[in-house]
Amino acid sequence: MAEYTLSPVGMDDFRCSTRLYPFTVDLNVDAATFWAELNGPAPLYWCRLLRSVEWTSPAPRTVGSTRTATMALTGTTLRERYFRWDEADGRYANGFWVTASNTPGFRRFAEHYEVVATETGCRFTWTFFVEPIVSATNPFIRPLVRAVLKGFLTDTQRRFG
pLDDT at 146 over 90: no
How many Cα atoms sit within 13 Å of 109 on the Cβ side? Answer: 21
Domain-embedded: residue 28: yes
Domain-embedded: residue 17: no
- Residue 93: the pLDDT is 97
Residue 136's pLDDT band, with cuts at 50, 70 and 90, is low
Rounded Cα distance, 133 and 21, in Å: 17
Residue 12's Cβ-count burial label (10 Å; 0-12, 13-18, 19+) is exposed
What is the domain-level CATH number for residue 125? Answer: 3.30.530.20
Domain-embedded: residue 143: yes
- Residue 144: the pLDDT is 81
Domain residues for the domain of 117 are 4-10+24-160
- Residue 18: the pLDDT is 84
Domain-embedded: residue 44: yes
Domain-embedded: residue 15: no
Query: pTM, whole model, 2 decimals?
Result: 0.92
Domain-embedded: residue 19: no
pLDDT at 152 over 80: yes
Average pLDDT over residues 68-74: 94
Domain-embedded: residue 154: yes
Domain count for the chain, please give it.
Answer: 1
- Residue 145: the pLDDT is 84
Rounded Cα distance, 20 and 31, in Å: 24
Q: pLDDT tens across 95-128, in order?
A: 999 999 999 989 999 999 999 999 999 999 999 9
Residue 9's Cβ-count burial label (10 Å; 0-12, 13-18, 19+) is buried
Question: What does pLDDT average to over the chain?
Answer: 92
Domain-embedded: residue 16: no
Residue 16's pLDDT band, with cuts at 50, 70 and 90, is confident
